Structure formats: C-alpha cells, structure tokens
C-alpha cells in the first residue's frame, strides 16, 4: 500500500490551507495538458481529499450494489441466468477491490474506509437502498443502473488521476457485459406473457425516480462539480450525465413498449435537452443520509460480512489486523 496510515493521519489533521501558488499553477498546467497525476506527484490537499471522498464512495457503492442483485442469485429463472448473475455480482465486488486500492494510493487505509462505511460516515449510491422485490427489479439494475454507471465511468476514465482512470477503464469493459445481460433479461420480460410484461412495467415505475437521483443533484445545487470538473476528475456534470443516459436509454425503453412514469418527459428539439419532472430531491437527501427503505439492512449485512471474515484477515495478516467491528 502506498502512503499508509501515517499519511492519512496527516491529511485528517491538516486544515484546508492556501497551496503554494507555483506548485498549484504547475499542477493545473499538467491537468490542462491532459497529463495523468500519479500517487507520488505533488497534488493540492483538496484534490487528494476530493478524490478520496469520491473513489471511496464509488467503492462502497460497488460492494453495497452487489446486495440487491445478490439476493436474486438463488432465485434467478434458470441455471444460465443464475450463473450469469453470480458472475456479475462477483465482478461488482471485484470493482470495489480495484477502487479501494485506487483510493489507498491517496493515503487512506482500507480499514478506515470500511470503518467509515459501517459507521455511516461515508456515503454510497442512493439507488442500492431500494429493495429488489422481483426478478424484473434485478433486470432493471443490470440493464439501466449499469448503463448509468457506464455513462459516468466512461467519461471519468479520461480523468486526471491515473490510478482511478485506469481502474475505470477496466471496470467499464466488465460493466458492458452486465448491461448486455440486463438488456437481454428485460427484453425477455417485456416481450413475454402479460404477467411478465406487467412485472417489468412495475419495476420501471419503482426505479425511475431513484434512477434520476443516481446521477446526483442538479448542477445548480451540486456542491463539488465545479472544482472536480476544473481538475478533470469529473468529466461530465450531473445534469449532462443524466441527459446522456436519457438520450441513450429512453428510446430503447420506448422501443420495448414500456411506459416511463413521467408524463412530462420529452425531448425539446430546439434545445436538444430532455425535459422531465424533477424527482423529489428531499427523498434523495433522506436516502443518502441513511434513511432509505433498505439502508439499515444493507449496512447490517456488511457488518455481518466483516465480522465473519475477521478470522480470514487474522489468519493472513496475523496481529496486523487493525479493524475489528463487533457484530451488530
């Protein structure tokens, strides 16, 4: 691990401060030229803190994101779908490992990240706090949530921080398979019996608003977009990512004859932008701050997994195991 605990203690202890203007100008010039910033390069404290926040939240989202679909592995219709879903869920957990490693290069130890997830200090994607009641919910996640993740991650794989952008390239390749699997499952349901079609429509109704939240709050109230875009960590704003997803997937949903539960949704041909009903941003705030339908259940599952895996970490690392989380 690069950096290690001491580096993180220093970052935590330091208040944000004025950076050396010469170093800052050189750093920004490198970013402007499209160069990658690597872990041993000089970087402003705020760049480091923002990257840790974002990559860590992303890693947590992958690991928690495995849970709603994970509950469908044993119930997926047919052996082949069980195998495919199991492989997909394993991939998501693998993505978390890649992302935790990328965040560790900035100096925050993995144990501290897991601790912050389990204590509720660190956020993860809103969408995984909703229940997957039916097989159609699982299909929605594999197709449309993965599609949203791909739009975000393909853009950010061209970003400025080397370890993150390289991890994203690899992740996007795997996510493309997930998307194909999800699309296949959705087509099957949408063109199946009336009951299957109804099940798919109900899943779309349930997931539409959380999916609009997934891309983050509107640009005009987004706290971090400006600085992240200036330093090329975020390559698309929240609104632009949402628009790109709507552009790519609304026509495909309509092609299947499904009804999108927003009667105001339409593309304004003059502006080229989609117009839609704003989802309830108060609900979004509640969910990302711990008060969604499944937040408690998701964290409880992770706490149990951490406690049950402790003996493995102890067997491998001996007395170096720093992180001990009691069972809830």
Interface residues with ligand FAQ (CB under 6 A)?
Answer: 53-54, 57-58, 61-62, 65-66, 92, 123, 125-126, 141, 145-146, 149, 152, 213-214, 216-217, 222-225, 228, 234, 238, 288
Nearest residue to 274 (alpha-carbon basis) of 215, 319, 203, 187: 215
Identity of the residue, 131 or 257, whose beta carbon is nearer to ligand FAQ in the bound complex: 131
Spatial distance between the Cα atoms of 233 and 46, rounded to a whole number of angstroms = 12
User: In sequence order, which residues have a C-beta less than 8 Å from that of residue 96 and are 6 or more positions away?
Assistant: 59, 60, 62, 63, 66
Closest separation in Å from C-beta 153 to ligand FAQ: 7
Q: Between 54 and 200, name the residue whose CB sits nearer to ligand FAQ.
A: 54
CB of 120 to ligand FAQ, least distance (A): 11
Largest CA-CA distance found in the chain, in angstroms, rounded? 66
End-to-end, the C-alpha distance of the chain in Å comes to: 29
Letter string b/e over residues 274-294, b meaning 16 or more CB atoms within 10 A of that residue's CB: bebeebeeeebeebbeeebeb
CB 20 to ligand FAQ: min, Å: 26
What minimum distance in Å lies between the beta carbon of 208 and ligand FAQ?
A: 14
- Minimal CB distance to ligand FAQ: which residue? 65
How far apart are alpha carbons 262 and 257 in whole angstroms?
15
Return phi, psi of residue 268, to 5°. -80, 110
Nearer to ligand FAQ, 94 or 197 (CB): 94
Q: Least distance to ligand FAQ from the beta carbon of 273, Å?
A: 18
Are the beta carbons of 104 and 2 closer than 8 angstroms? Answer: yes
Which candidate, 236, 255, 245, places its Cα nearest to that of 276? 245
Partnered with residue 66 across adjacent β-strands are none
Q: Which residues contact 12 (CB under 8 A, 6 or more apart)?
A: none
Tokens encoding 14: 């330091």
Q: Closest approach of Cβ 133 to ligand FAQ, in Å?
A: 16
Least Å distance, CB 237 to ligand FAQ, is 8
Give the nearer residue to ligand FAQ in terms of CB position, either 92 or 306. 92
Residue 227 Cβ vs ligand FAQ, minimum distance, rounded to whole Å: 9
Cβ nearer to ligand FAQ, comparing 39 with 217: 217
């Amino acid at each position: 691990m690069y950096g290690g605990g001491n580096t993180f203690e220093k970052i935590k202890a330091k208040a944000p401060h004025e950076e050396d203007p010469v170093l800052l100008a050189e750093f920004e010039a490198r970013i402007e030229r499209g160069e990658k910033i690597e872990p041993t390069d000089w970087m402003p404290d705020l760049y480091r803190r923002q990257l840790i926040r974002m990559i860590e939240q992303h890693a947590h989202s992958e690991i928690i994101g495995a849970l709603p679909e994970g509950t469908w592995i044993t119930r997926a219709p047919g052996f082949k779908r069980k195998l495919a879903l199991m492989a997909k869920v394993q991939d998501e957990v693998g993505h978390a490992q890649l992302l935790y490693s990328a965040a560790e290069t900035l100096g925050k130890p993995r144990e501290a990240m897991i601790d912050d997830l389990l204590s509720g200090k660190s956020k993860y994607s809103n969408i995984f706090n909703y229940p997957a009641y039916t097989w159609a919910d699982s299909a929605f996640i594999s197709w449309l949530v993965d599609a949203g993740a791909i739009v975000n991650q393909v853009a950010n794989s061209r970003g400025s921080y080397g370890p993150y952008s390289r991890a994203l390239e690899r992740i996007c390749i795997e996510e493309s398979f997930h998307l194909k699997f999800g699309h296949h499952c959705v087509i099957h349901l949408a063109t199946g019996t009336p009951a299957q079609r109804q099940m798919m429509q109900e899943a779309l109704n349930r997931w539409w608003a959380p999916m609009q939240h997934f891309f983050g709050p509107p640009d005009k109230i987004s706290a971090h977009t400006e600085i992240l875009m200036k330093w090329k960590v975020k390559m698309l704003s929240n609104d632009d990512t949402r628009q790109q997803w709507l552009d790519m997937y609304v026509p495909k949903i309509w092609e299947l004859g499904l009804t999108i539960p927003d009667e105001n949704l339409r593309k304004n041909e003059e502006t080229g932008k989609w117009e839609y009903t704003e989802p309830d941003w108060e609900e979004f705030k509640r969910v990302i701050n711990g008060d969604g339908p499944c937040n408690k259940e998701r964290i409880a599952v992770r706490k149990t997994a951490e406690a049950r895996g402790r003996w493995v970490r102890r067997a491998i690392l001996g007395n170096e195991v720093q992180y001990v989380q009691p069972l809830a």
